[in-house]
Copies of this chain bind each other. A is one copy, B any other.
Amino acid sequence: MHRILAGIVACTPAVSALAQDTPVIHDAEYYILEAQHSDQWAKDDAAVDAKLAAFREQNGGKPPNIINILIDDMGYGDMGIPELNAVRGYSTPNINAFSDAAMRMARMYTEPSCTPTRVAQMTGRLPVRMGMGDTTVDIAGFGLPEGEVTIAEILSEAGYATVHVGKWHMGDIPEAWPHNQGFDWAAFPVHQQGQLTIYHDDAIREQVSVGMKDFEGAFTLDDFFRPDASAMVTGLEAAKGGMAREVGMEPGERWNAAKYDEMNQRYQDQALDQLRALAVGDQPFFLQYWPLLPLDNTRTGREGPQSPNGGLYVDKMQQLDVWLGDLFTEMEELGVAENTVVLLMGDNGHFTKYSPQSGFTPMIFAGGKGDVTEGGIRVDSFIRWPGMIEADGIVNDIVHVSDMFVTFARFAGAEAGIPRDRLIDGVDQSALLLQGEGKSRRDYIFAYSIDKPKAIIKEHLKLHVPAPGESAIVAQFYDVFRDTHEKYPVSTEVGAWGGQEFVRILGRHIKRKEKYPDAEPARGIPYEGIENLRPESQAAVEAFLLKQAAVVK
C-alpha cells in the first residue's frame, strides 16, 4: 500500500480565517435569493443538521466517507439512461445500476473544459478567480496556486484520510499537484489525454495526430516547435508534501498506446488498493478517482470492437463501466457502501471533434467541450448516499460543480474550513440533496470561456453574452426547457425586460470583482519537485524556458 496517513507527513493547508460564525462570502445573486428565502433556508438547515447528526450517530460518530468520481468529456445522457444506451448501441449496466441507486442532478452545470471544472470542484470558486480557466496540453509552467483551499485540505484538516488517483490536470508546477493541495497520497499524470493518447507514436502511425512530427524533417529548423509526448513527464506518485516520482517510464523510453493502457490499468488497480486500505482505517476517507477513460484515440494493439456500436470511445465507456462496477462491488464487500457518499459526474460536454468515429455524438444539447451552449456545460451527475439521498431520484434544480465543494464540507461537518477571506461561488446544496427538488440555493450560472463570461443562465432563460462591439439588440436569448439546442432565440429585443435584467445580473457579478478581484494563476518552473526527472524531460523544460525568455531579450 502506498497510502501514507495524514499526520505522518508534514501538513500545511492554506486554510485561513476559520470562524464558523463568520459567514461565507458569496456572489451578488446569492444574496438576492437569500433575502427572499432566509426563513425557509434556516428551517431547512436545521433539518439538514439533524439528519447529518443522526447519520454520524449511527456511524460511530464519524461523518460519511466520500468517493468523488469525475469522468472525462462525456455527452449529456451518455450515463445512466438505458434507453439512450440503446440508441447508441452500447451498454453500461453498472453505471445504470448505480444511477438507479442514486439521485440524478439533472441540471448540473460545469465549466466548459477539464481544467476549469476540476478547479471549480476542488476550490468552490470559478476558475477565473485565480486565472485557471484555460486548459493546457503540454508544458506550460503554471497551475493552481497553493493559496487556494481545496476540499481535500478542508477534509484533511477535519480528520479525513485523503487520496487522489487519476487525471488531475491543474498544472505542471509542484504547488498545483494533489499531494501539495491536501491529499495524503496521489497518483496522477501531469498532463492530459492530449499527451497520453493523441501525441504519441501510435497516434502518428494511425494519422490521428497532426501536432507531432509525422513527416521527414528536411525543412525543420525549430526542434522545440512540436511537442514530444515521450519527453513530457507522464505519471507521478507522491505523498503529502513530499517529492514526486515518475513511474512507468525509464529514460529513453517512448510513450505509446500500450503505455496508456498500463497507466489506466494501474490507476484502476490503485483506486481499488487505496479503497481497501482506506476502508480499514480509523479515519473517514475522501477518495478521489478521476479516470482517464473513456478518452482514447488509437486502435493499435487493442482488442476489436466490444459493442454493437463499435466506436472506440463507446468501447472504452464499456471498459470504464466494468471498472466502476468493480469499485462499487468492492465497496459492498468492504462494508463501506452504506456510509459513503459517492459522486459520479462528467467534467464537461463531449468532445465533438472526435464525433462520430469516436462513437460520441451530439444528442440532447447543442455543442460540446469548449462551448458554453448546454452541450458544453451540462453533464450527467449522480450522487448516492444510501438512506440519506433518495435512490433513483431526479432533482431538476440548477447546481454548479463548485457547489460540491461547499456541500462536501457540510456533509463532513467541516464548514468551518471554508475560507472566509475570499469569494466562494459554490453554494450549499445539502438541503436539495437531503430534502429534495425545489431546495437549490441557486437559480443562476455564469458560464465562462477561459476568462470571459459568455453566457448567463437564470432559471431556464439563457443569454449568450454579445461579444465586445456587438450590438446588444441582436444578443441571443434562449429558453433551455423549450429549446434544448439553443436554436430559436426567444427575444432579440435586449431593451425589453429580459435582456435588460440579464445585463444587470452580469453588472452585479462584475461589480463584485472590485472588492474580490480576479487573480493570476501560480507560475513556476515546470516539473520541479520530481526526484527522477528524465534527461529528455529536463531538456523539454529547458526548451520551454528558452521560448519564454525569447520575449524578454
Given the known inter-chain contacts A355-B488, A364-B364, A488-B355, please indicate yes or no for A311 contacting B482, CB distance below 8 A. yes
Q: Is A394 an interface residue (CB 8 A)?
A: yes
- A77 surroundings in chain B (CB, below 8 A): 83-84, 364
Complex Cα spacing A84 to B365, Å? 11
Chain A window 378-405, contacts with chain B (Cβ cutoff 8 Å), 1 for yes, 0 for no: 0000000000000000101000000000
Q: Which of B87, B106, B309, B485 meets A83, CB within 8 Å?
A: B106
B488-A356 in contact (CB<8A): yes
- A311 surroundings in chain B (CB, below 8 A): 481-482
Candidate in A358, A479, A487 with the most chain B CB atoms within 10 angstroms: A479
- A362 surroundings in chain B (CB, below 8 A): 484-485, 487
- A363 surroundings in chain B (CB, below 8 A): 363-364, 484-485
Q: Which of B82, B364, B488, B490 meets A394, CB within 8 Å?
A: B82
Q: Is A89 an interface residue (CB 8 A)?
A: yes
Assembly stoichiometry (copies): 2
| Chain B proximity of A110: nearest CB distance (Å) | 16
A86-B394 in contact (CB<8A): yes
- A485 surroundings in chain B (CB, below 8 A): 361-363
A396-B364 in contact (CB<8A): no
Given the known inter-chain contacts A82-B394, A355-B488, please indicate yes or no for A481 contacting B89, CB distance below 8 A. yes
Q: Is A359 an interface residue (CB 8 A)?
A: yes
Given the known inter-chain contacts A356-B483, A481-B311, A483-B361, please indicate yes or no for A106 contacting B80, CB distance below 8 A. no
B81-A83 in contact (CB<8A): yes
Complex Cα spacing A258 to B163, Å? 64
Q: Which of B83, B89, B314 meets A460, CB within 8 Å?
A: B89
Q: Which residue from chain B places its CB closest to the CB of A396 in the assembled complex?
A: B86
- A357 surroundings in chain B (CB, below 8 A): 482, 488
Q: Is A62 an interface residue (CB 8 A)?
A: no
Complex Cα spacing A362 to B361, Å? 14
A308-B356 in contact (CB<8A): no
Complex Cα spacing A90 to B394, Å? 12
A106-B86 in contact (CB<8A): yes
Chain A window 304-321, contacts with chain B (Cβ cutoff 8 Å), 1 for yes, 0 for no: 000011110010000000
Chain A window 85-106, contacts with chain B (Cβ cutoff 8 Å), 1 for yes, 0 for no: 0111110000000000000101
B83-A482 in contact (CB<8A): no
| Chain B proximity of A360: nearest CB distance (Å) | 8
**In chain A between 266 and 325, which residues have their CB closer than 8 angstroms to a CB of chain B?**
308-311, 314
- A87 surroundings in chain B (CB, below 8 A): 76, 106, 364, 481, 484
Chain A window 256-272, contacts with chain B (Cβ cutoff 8 Å), 1 for yes, 0 for no: 00000000000000000
- A460 surroundings in chain B (CB, below 8 A): 89, 308-309
| Chain B proximity of A368: nearest CB distance (Å) | 12
Q: Which residue from chain B places its CB closest to the CB of A89 in the assembled complex?
A: B481
- A481 surroundings in chain B (CB, below 8 A): 87-90, 308-311, 359
- A484 surroundings in chain B (CB, below 8 A): 87-88, 361-363
| Chain B proximity of A107: nearest CB distance (Å) | 8
**In chain A between 466 and 493, which residues have their CB closer than 8 angstroms to a CB of chain B?**
479, 481-485, 487-488, 490
Sample of 14 more A-B contacts, CB < 8 Å, known A81-B84, A86-B106: A82-B394, A83-B106, A83-B394, A84-B364, A86-B396, A88-B484, A89-B396, A308-B460, A311-B482, A355-B482, A355-B488, A356-B479, A356-B483, A363-B485
6 interchain residue pairs of minimum CB distance: A89-B481, A356-B483, A86-B106, A356-B482, A309-B481, A86-B396
